[in-house]
Amino acid sequence: MQPTERDAAYVWDILDSAQHIQEFMKGVRFEEFLQDRKLQLAIERCVEIMGEASRRISDELKNAHPEIPWSGMIAQRNVLAHEYDDVKQERMWLIATVHTPALIPDLEAILPPPPPTE
């Protein structure tokens, strides 16, 4: 199923945040991540955007692409937004270094090709 224009925009937002996470985390060791509050907050913000965009995607697209962890992204966004005092940086590390890189190809696969440039 091809996403609607609205859904495609939200998938692009998720992909953009996922790519930023990869960029921010390039070459960073776990110990460095634990010591860098700015980096932690940047990753948290990207994860929040991914979750909020996932929440807005139509049920039709979510059902057509169960390989994408829509509900997991939404749940993590809710933790960051509502239980911010209980954020586990070990969990954020796993999201940033394991789950997000694995997610990118799945997101790219469902996006329509970009319009041709003239």
Inter-residue contact 54 to 17 (CB < 8 Å): no
77 catalytically annotated = yes
Among 20, 37, 82, 99, the active-site one is 82
65 catalytically annotated = no
Among 37, 45, 56, 77, the active-site one is 77
- Measured between alpha carbons, how far is 106 from 18 in angstroms, rounded to an integer? 12
List, in order, residues 6 or more apart from 50 with CB less than 8 Å away.
13, 14, 17, 18, 73, 76, 77
Active site residues: 77, 82
